[in-house]
Structure 1
Amino acid sequence: MSFSGIRLFKVFGIEVNLDYSWFIAFFLITITLAEGFYPSFYPELPKINYYLVSIVSAITLFISVLLHELSHSLVAMRYGIPVKDIYLFIFGGVALFQDEPKTPSQEFKIAIAGPLMSFFLASLFFTAVYFYPKDDLFNGFLNYVFMVNFFLGAFNLIPAFPLDGGRIFRSILWSKYGILKATEIASKLGNIFGIILILLGIFSLFTGSIVNGIWLSFLGFFIKRASKEALLSTKLNYILSRFRVENVMNVMNPVPADLPLLEFITYERPITRLYPVLLKDGRILFLDTRDLSKIPYYKQEELILNDVVKPIDIYVLPDEKLSRAYSYMRKNNLEEIPVKYNNTFLGILRRSDIEDIISRYLREINESTNHRR
């Protein structure tokens, strides 16, 4: 699932980002608290007081979500699983792991870490609620943060993949059925749970609870979509984990920079978008064959490759996991990427070649499943 937004800061080497949908949630939570929750428990206070504490409450909620996701991330990093980004968005947060856990035990510990953090925060705020004066608006703030952390922990323990409870459930099934079958079962529960939330949302809309109906419906659609994408991601990682970039890359010999462009087009018949070109100083630059359509034919006779090449700073390493390279290419919408080692050009990795491998293995998995039936 893709996110886009604002980079906030780095913590433990993880980039924390604010998805644009977060602002919708911030606005709705602030309005709901300021116009309904706090006035109902602490009436006859100046409206500005309600809005100030509601803004702080909304910010504290997302700090709680961040701590929840950081807990997942730190445990994952302890097991050598890279975590590049955390995104805070309208329905909470997500930590983007670059690899799947290697064992059911790792999966369980990574998944349980988030709810445990939420319950820990809930216990801290519950203790503060107990000792703070009951008739003060700040006690209402403490109550709210206690409740949302408890709800965050409890909701995530529902065994619907990809919620934390679904991942815990998958870790239990993993040992018996293997990761693919376990993920399929947990993903089906996630899909069912999403449908239930959608139906509850529709029921709420018809009974007059419009805000709850909208929230439940959107949350249901999100979980339904996320369960499907998480299943696909697991299959991709499972298939590609046995390959390295060097197993799939296209080894290519650079062509000299002084080669006439028209001769290159006529005789080389390039099959890749990126073509390595060797400069006289030993550097490798690249010709993007898509750029050729922008050059008029009469100018092509006057140009050499040196006139149309450009540097490409991004690359992958030959011993890098193919699953990680493919994830990077998908995220950045790249069809091809150079492969380098110690600044030495080795070849071109093509996304289409990776997807051919995926298609072949998915077909074999389906045929094997149908044969067993």
Structure 2
Amino acid sequence: MKFKSIPLFKVFGIQVNLDFSWFVVFFLISFTLAEYFFPANYPGHSFVVYWLVGAVSAVLLFASVLLHELSHSLVALKFGIPVREIDLFIFGGVAMIEEEAPSPKVEFLVAAAGPVCSFLLSFLFFVLAVLYPQDDLLNGIINYLMLVNFALGAFNLVPAFPLDGGRILRAIIWAKKDLLTATKISSWTGTAFAYILMLFGVLSIVQGNLLNAMWYGLLGLFLRNASKISYEQTKLSVILSGYRVEQFMHTVKPILPDETVADFMSYYYPVYKSSTYPVIGADGRIYLFDVSQISSIPQNEWHQIKVYQLSKPVEVFVSPYDSLLKAIKLMNRYQVDELPVIYGNTVLGIIKRDVIESLVERYLMQEKMQES
């Protein structure tokens, strides 16, 4: 069972969410700091004080992670790349950047923004540590944040896709080759690094350090899967961005305001056989009719009820000149299988999910045949 993320707030128009897995890592970080880091370096305090300081430090760590991801997001927005949300979860955070960068230069700048932010935060906390040289828990928090932000920036610079360093590597290769080749090479480095982490996990088990083994193993599995998924998503983006909606849409005549359900079943449904239909409302606006609603209407009432009365205003649509990539992303975001195709105030047709998926399947099948 998958739980929905908890919405926290919006910043610069970007929704920030908290995944339930965050509570696991929050407890583990608080535990490690309260039971080991602070007692070892700042002795003489009570159990409650150590746990309070550990919890505060864990929250500040995730504030640093949020700033890291927000840096990626703001640079992406500057170059016109939409960012849907930022999720904080067990492995830190991830900015949901919805489109590939338009060029290697933009990819490089978006990827580099996160580590630069982390290193700047590390330097800021270093300055604070110098200005506050007291040997107490506040100094401990400052030193911890200095170290952990430096580690966050350095770890993300590992050239292993989809880490920031892997994206920087992809940008460099992309500048000389194509995006798909660059993604494939950087994905290989990501997979290799993932197996190195899992190897460290095995060595930690041999040494009896089960906590480290768990973290290395989980992080390795996460990076291996993320690297594979990111490559497949890039491949999908490259395929679908090369086609326009007008090439694959089904031409559909919109239903007029005075046409009844009986008219629809007689003249529209047998011809087009879609699950949704565009409707011209009495007010001249475009609406959308869901065919499944007919099942709840007795057949003897079909001549009395107008389709327009059962329709809802169009929430989302595509232009005939939009890419199939934009169409499938909108379908996924709004959880629909069909979208109306509208140009100006004219309904041209419907684009269906199964048509797009069939195109991708044919492409992948051809690719597999060429490889064999």
TM-score for the superposition, normalised by structure 1:
0.88
Change (3 A) 1:111 1:284: closer
SS of 1:255's equivalent? coil
Q: Which residue of 1 aligns with 2:299?
A: 300
Pairwise CA distance, 1:240:
1.9
Q: Which residue of 2 aligns with 1:162?
A: 162
**Pair 1:288 & 2:286 matched:** no
**Partner letter of residue 170 of structure 1?**
R
**Partner letter of residue 77 of structure 2?**
M
Q: Which residue of 2 aligns with 1:355?
A: 357
Does the aligned pair in 1 maintain the 2:318–2:339 contact within 8 Å? Answer: no
**Partner letter of residue 193 of structure 2?**
F
Q: Which residue of 2 aligns with 1:314?
A: 315
Change (3 A) 1:278 1:59: same
Does the aligned pair in 1 maintain the 2:286–2:313 contact within 8 Å? Answer: no
TM-score for the superposition, normalised by structure 2:
0.88
**Partner letter of residue 117 of structure 1?**
C
Distance of 1:279 and 1:171 partners within structure 2? 48
Identical amino acids, percent of aligned pairs: 47
- 1:104-115 aligned at under 5 Å gives the runs 104-115=104-115
Change (3 A) 1:92 1:279: same
Pairwise CA distance, 1:4:
4.1
Change (3 A) 1:150 1:280: closer
- 1:121-132 aligned at under 5 Å gives the runs 121-132=121-132
Does the aligned pair in 1 maintain the 2:261–2:302 contact within 8 Å? Answer: yes
Pairwise CA distance, 1:253:
0.8
Pairwise CA distance, 1:98:
2.0
**Partner letter of residue 98 of structure 1?**
E
Does the aligned pair in 2 maintain the 1:126–1:143 contact within 8 Å? Answer: yes
Is the deviation greater in 18-27 or in 54-63?
18-27
SS of 2:17's equivalent? strand
Distance of 2:255 and 2:77 partners within structure 1? 42
C-alpha RMSD of matched pairs (Å): 2.6
Count of residue pairs the alignment pairs up: 366
Change (3 A) 1:284 1:113: closer
Distance of 2:215 and 2:291 partners within structure 1? 47
Does the aligned pair in 2 maintain the 1:18–1:88 contact within 8 Å? Answer: yes
- 1:121-200 aligned at under 5 Å gives the runs 121-200=121-200
Q: Which residue of 2 aligns with 1:89?
A: 89
- 1:228-243 aligned at under 5 Å gives the runs 228-243=228-243
Is the deviation greater in 90-99 or in 6-15?
6-15
Does the aligned pair in 1 maintain the 2:286–2:314 contact within 8 Å? Answer: no
Q: Which residue of 1 aligns with 2:34?
A: 34
**Pair 1:336 & 2:338 matched:** yes
Q: Deviations over 1:41-89 (max 9, x none)?
A: 1122122221222122111111111111122122222222222212111
Pairwise CA distance, 1:309:
2.5
SS of 1:275's equivalent? strand
SS of 1:171's equivalent? helix
SS of 1:130's equivalent? helix
SS of 1:158's equivalent? coil
- Unpaired runs of 5+ in structure 2? none
Change (3 A) 1:232 1:331: farther
